[in-house]
């Protein structure tokens, strides 16, 4: 469906067939709403915000301007994790840091039966959206949503070596990148996008923190910006805990996901083989 059809069918209850065969199917009132929505779209508001809806990993998600709109690159991150944990039967303790709309936590909970997830975000408004999405997809019992800053999460000594998996799609746009955002993206929350001067602020914290909070052989799974591979590989290299690190490319050949297993490394082949499996 094109954008016009989506707006008319989702928001104004039009039947798709009427859009072309019965152009006067809208009341004057509906026509006014339609023109208003069209105007907002022309001003660059993302369609997903106008519809209040999007799809991620085949599941429905509510979205509004308090949360980042889930992206296809992030599906690659979730699919990588699912491939590694698909056959897992014993409980998997997961942390999703910067959960936003809850798309990562909800789709992991939906696909890994034994998942116990802690999902944090600094924004109470984002957590409301995420909680709704967990309910909507029937996985509210598997996810504990907590308002917390990523930096504070790593200072919690009780969590020392307690997670099997830490996943994050952190804000990673640099100061310079923020000045060149596409028009639609300017409508998304700055706190979900801005990753400090160089865009890498959260990765320092995530890599050092995960070394402390992951169990032996635990996995850190990160989405990264397309030009960040070298900088991120360097951060892993200076980290004193040993990680086996592998980057996964998207279909356009850009490195978009980093998967790292803490020592002792037990899944080397499986991780290195992810690219092939995901593109089959």
> What is the contact surface with ligand GLN in residues (CB under 6 A)?
68, 70, 74, 98-101, 103-104, 169-171, 192
Cβ closer to ligand GLN: 170 or 199?
A: 170
Cβ closer to ligand GLN: 26 or 78?
A: 78
Q: Is the peptide bond before 101 cis (omega within 30 degrees of 0)?
A: no
CB atoms within 10 A of CB 210: 27
Q: Phi, psi at residue 270, to the nearest 5°?
A: -60, -45
Cβ closer to ligand GLN: 66 or 164?
A: 66
d(CA 162, CA 157): 10
Q: Are 112 and 85 in contact (CB under 8 A)?
A: yes
Handedness of CA 45, 72, 234, 168 (dihedral sign): positive
* Smallest separation, CB 190 to ligand GLN (Å): 10
* Smallest separation, CB 17 to ligand GLN (Å): 34
Cβ closer to ligand GLN: 80 or 169?
A: 169
* Smallest separation, CB 134 to ligand GLN (Å): 13
* Smallest separation, CB 225 to ligand GLN (Å): 11
* Smallest separation, CB 213 to ligand GLN (Å): 18
The residue with its CB nearest to ligand GLN is: 100
Cβ closer to ligand GLN: 68 or 112?
A: 68
In this structure, what is the dihedral angle of CA atoms 136, 172, 151, 116, given to the nearest 10 degrees? 30
- Residue 123 Cα distances to 59, 66, 134, 136, 275, angstroms: 23, 8, 17, 20, 34
* Smallest separation, CB 117 to ligand GLN (Å): 12
Q: Distance between alpha carbon 193 and the CA centroid of its chain, in Å? A: 12
Collapsing DSSP to helix, strand or coil, 239 comes out as coil
Cβ closer to ligand GLN: 7 or 78?
A: 78
């Amino acid at each position: 469906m094109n954008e016009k059809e989506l707006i008319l069918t989702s928001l104004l209850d039009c039947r798709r067939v009427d859009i072309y065969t019965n152009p006067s199917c809208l009341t004057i009132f509906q026509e006014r709403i339609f023109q208003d929505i069209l105007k907002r779209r022309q001003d660059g508001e993302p369609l997903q915000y106008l519809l209040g809806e999007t799809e991620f990993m085949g599941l429905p998600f509510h979205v509004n301007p308090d949360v980042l709109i889930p992206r296809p690159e992030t599906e690659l991150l979730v699919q990588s994790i699912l491939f590694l944990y698909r056959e897992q039967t014993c409980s998997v303790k997961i942390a999703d840091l910067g959960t936003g709309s809850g798309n990562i936590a909800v789709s992991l909970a939906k696909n890994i039966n034994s998942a116990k997830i802690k999902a944090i975000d600094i924004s109470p408004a984002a957590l409301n959206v995420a909680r709704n999405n967990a309910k909507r997809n029937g996985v509210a019992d598997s996810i504990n949503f907590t308002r917390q800053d990523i930096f504070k999460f790593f200072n919690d000594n009780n969590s020392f070596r307690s997670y099997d998996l830490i996943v994050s799609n952190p804000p990673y746009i640099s100061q310079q990148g923020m000045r060149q955002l596409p028009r639609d993206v300017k409508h998304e929350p700055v706190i979900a996008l801005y990753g400090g001067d160089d865009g890498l602020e959260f990765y320092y914290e995530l890599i050092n923190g995960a070394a402390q909070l992951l169990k032996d052989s635990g996995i850190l799974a990160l989405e990264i910006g397309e030009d960040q591979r070298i900088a991120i590989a360097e951060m892993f290299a200076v980290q004193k805990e040993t990680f086996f690190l592998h980057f996964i490319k998207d279909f356009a050949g850009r490195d978009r996901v980093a998967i790292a297993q803490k020592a002792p490394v037990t899944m080397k082949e499986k991780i290195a083989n992810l690219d092939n499996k995901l593109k089959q």
